[in-house]
Chain A
Amino acid sequence: MRKLITLTVAVLGPMFCGSMIYAQEAPAQKTGALDVQTVVQKVQTTSDTAGQSKTELIPVETALPGDEVVYTVTFKNIGEEPADNIRITNPIPEQMRYVAGTAFGPGTEIVYSIDGGSSYAEPAALIVKTDAGVERPAQVDDYTHIRWALNTPLEVGEQSFARFRAVVR
């Protein structure tokens, strides 16, 4: 029975290539095993009366074109088993431009997509072919998705985060 299900997933996989693959059924599924939150903030630097500057992240409700915001995806294992092979996938909103080099997550490998999430690679391996047939390295403007892959399992009760900065186009 278990073998049959695995086969189904394997067949479905290629069909869903390019979008999130949702396993149709999984025996070990614990509902609500991870809690995932995304917040958007901006850096605010203030200086107090003594002239000491203080930098903090404050919530963003509105922003102007050109403003930079910080997206933070926080995830916590609220289940009863360690979670492994964790991957966080974040499409970059089309009105936003990723700020190069700002994606970060403790203990993660970070790859990017320039094709709407169909494929991912490290920045150096991302090549754009122009209409004229000329290949060039991808620019941050070309990035469509960011993906963080955790190197280690997330233990029960453990929390981590993935973060990047982007500018309002």
Chain B
Amino acid sequence: MNPQPDIRGRLVRINGPIVEAEGLGAAGMLDVVEVGALRLIGEVIRLLGDVATIQVYENTGGLKPGDPVFATGRPLSVELGPGLLGSIFDGIQRPLPAIAKHSGLYINRGEKTEPLDRSRAWPFQPVAALGSRLGPGRVFGTVRETPSIEHRLMIPPDWGEVEVLELAPAGDCTLAAVLGRVRDEAGSERELRMSGLWPVRRPRPAAGRLAMTRPLLTGLRVIDALFPLARGGTAAIPGGFGTGKTMTQHALAKWSEADIIVYIGCGERGNEMTEVLREFPEIIDPRTGRSLMERTVLIANTSNMPVAAREVSIYTGITIAEYYRDMGYHVAVMADSTSRWAEALRELSGRLEEMPADEGFPAYLPTRLAEFYERAGAVRTLGGAEASISVIGAVSPPGGDFSEPVTQHTSRFIRCFWALDRDLANARHYPAIGWLGSYSEYLPDIAPWWAERAPEWKPCRDALMDVLQQEVKLQRIAKLVGPDALPDSQRLILFTADLIKNAFLQQNSFDDIDMYCSPEKLTGMMQILELFHRRARELLQRGGTLAAVRELPCLEAVLRMKHAIPNPEAAKLDALRRRVDADFDELDRRVA
């Protein structure tokens, strides 16, 4: 990783994070360079004759024309190996705790720290047999990275098939250790190590794409019931400030049914990353019984950190996600927020004096967004496993106006749109995912999965959705004439819709019981609400009154079921459902 002393340029112009240097004609496009005496990290983004334009990932204050620039001859890469889980990195994969040890409270410039801990020993376990031939992406050994995650060491995807000549025995090894020797197709020998580099802007290859047939269960009822995301799918959460994008992202990171979570805090608040750092280690994953931090990688490039590093942070995150995907894991990536990333693109583009398109954003914004979201998907890995990356990107439209370029372009490349609603947020109805503007295109893909496990899911979902959609129309009329002027059958719609919102859609992420909803509890609750509405409608048809429905003794239990019935006791919902049925039977008898 040492800079090549032979390619060395000289700064000629400095304009914020964009600088120009002469004498770098031999450097490659997108190569990493080190700028000035502090050796600030930068990347070549334009070459014109002998002059290279460089975006610098750190504050350029004090740089002078004439300062040296050193080429490294390699593209911007991340180091992939054991030790990623549970770590927090900045946008260019510098571990923040290590930086803190060097430079205290503040992040000084020119910090150079190895991304992964060199001194730590990992328990290596060889898997491949001597003399066997392994294709790229095949596992040659494993390391227990955390109690719940086995780190699978693979033949790098760009090597081709190799023959295993030598492999270290089981035992503790550090990253520096040579774990084995292989001969590649060209006949030359190569060393196997625990970690390797991969350029962030190049997607890691997979053997092929698979159909997405399973939902990514998130534990959030409004998503799992109404707008489900498929495993390997892409979703966007657009919302103005204060509508709960970050809270929703945090909840998804906590409870999503994924093996690995990569959380990219891109241009957002420092305190939010602190919250994740302090909170996640204490939360127990309901599936593995282990701390959530053991499956999480954090990339933190907060809003006050250099803007060029914000641009790259999203690629750093997704490359790490691809690495774990290649081991055969299901990974979920949260990017909060993609708007800040797009703004970084805009700022850099402005400094490059490029011709702007919409609202000053560069014309290549949609291309970049498409490239990023396309790195998601369910795949057959090179190693032969089924794995996936699901991407959930928060979008922060200015003024909450979804017609702005980032929201508009993003919605072309995602298939699940969770629109946050200002009115819901103002009424402290969280998660404020509105049922009018949101959609999921994965519904037909994953409906068979539910049909096999819980056949009631689809009909209940349709019934609840129908009530919510009808309510919106009726509300318009009710606002003009008052709800009391409507017939009972229509007021029932308003009543049930309120019940669905309060008892089901609204979810308190600070309540120990309500914060996460298991699929069993989810379908149980959906059935009760569907039953309630169906029976009430039948009752009204037979001449019953809405007033009687409102007085039903079971109603309070229905309203409180989300808090009162913990996930492991979801079977209690059956009893509640029978109680609702019995209460209605009683009313029916009275009407008759």
To the question of whether A and B form a pair in one complex, the answer is no
Question: Measuring CB to CB, which residues of chain B are less than 8 angstroms from any residue of chain A?
Answer: none
Question: Measuring CB to CB, which residues of chain A are less than 8 angstroms from any residue of chain B?
Answer: none
